[in-house]
Structure 1
Amino acid sequence: MITGVNHITLSVTDLLRSMEFYQNLGAKLHVSWQSGAYLSLGDLWLCLSLHHNPKSSINTESDHSHLALNIEAKDFRSYCDKIAALNIQYWKQNTSEGDSLYILDPDRHKLEIHVGSLQSRLESLKANPYKRLTWYPDDEWT
């Protein structure tokens, strides 16, 4: 049912510094907003999420760093049932585009099971933009 990596989200303490760092590594910047950015490195979707308490250790409950795994829409509901039957702990409720299930592994690594793609997320931002959303001119999704 899981078909691969969907995206990686990293909590960062300085959004502009992190955007520049990943762009210097070759990432393409698609959009940014007051608390995050979407970039891509080849086929990898990278989300930077501003850590809201930069004075504290980034390994706190407010750390949104996680690995998202891809699942097809047709498999999502049955997969949710399977996770519920296994009594796996959740760490967050979904508030963004696409169906998502946020779970913890036995070592408390944060995982997301996600239906959607960078392209579907960018399309959804056209209709429902994040606060202070900036599109970058060379992006084919603008």
Structure 2
Amino acid sequence: MLKNLNHLTLAASDISRSLQFYVEILGFIPHAQWDQGAYLSLGQLWLCLSKDSVDTKRDYTHYAFTIGIQDFTDFILKLRQAGVVEWKENRSEGESVYFLDPDGHKLEAHCGDLQSRLQACRQNPYQGMKFF
């Protein structure tokens, strides 16, 4: 049986540029870099950057990271000072900022977790929502 997310691999057109973004802007810890990729971590997340051409989609698929409310305002300021593009405005529970990495991968920094989202949804459920 599956137990957890093992790692996330993102295509990167320029490994050095993406490594710099994930380390200097987002605070990932670098572990290894080679011509075709890099390994980084953030908490328990293992991220692999893999050299490849990037085919960004126009759907809602994105990757969300947890951020403490005490760090949220400073984080947004850091993103904006770095010229990072925001792709969506937050309309859901908890503070969130939606932004793009250098290759256009859709990312989010979110204050909250599954329990806070479910609690908000119990108070104001989405259309057709049922709980298990």
Greater per-residue strand proportion: 1
Residue 66 (structure 1) aligned to one of 54, 62, 65: 62
Q: TM-score, normalised by structure 1?
A: 0.53
Deviation for aligned residue 1:93 = 0.8
Per the alignment, in what secondary structure is the counterpart of residue 84 of structure 1? helix
One-letter amino acid matched to 1:100 = S
Query: Where in structure 1 are there 5+ consecutive unaligned residues?
Result: 9-58, 137-142
Q: Show the counterpart of 2:131.
A: 135
One-letter amino acid matched to 2:130 = T
The question of 1:87 aligning with 2:87 is answered no
Percent identical across equivalent pairs?
A: 42
Give CA deviations for 1:58-106 in whole Å, capped at 9, x if unaligned.
x642x01111011001100111111111110111111100110000001
Per the alignment, in what secondary structure is the counterpart of residue 103 of structure 1? strand
Per the alignment, in what secondary structure is the counterpart of residue 129 of structure 1? coil
Per the alignment, in what secondary structure is the counterpart of residue 66 of structure 2? strand
Query: Where in structure 2 are there 5+ consecutive unaligned residues?
Result: 9-55
Q: Show the counterpart of 2:32.
A: none
1: CA distance between counterparts of 2:77 and 2:102?
Answer: 19
Runs in 1 of length 4+ with deviation above 4 angstroms? none
Q: TM-score, normalised by structure 2?
A: 0.56
Q: Show the counterpart of 1:122.
A: 118
1: CA distance between counterparts of 2:92 and 2:127?
Answer: 14
How large is the Cα RMSD of the aligned pairs?
Answer: 1.8
2: CA distance between counterparts of 1:106 and 1:135?
Answer: 37
Q: Show the counterpart of 1:39.
A: none
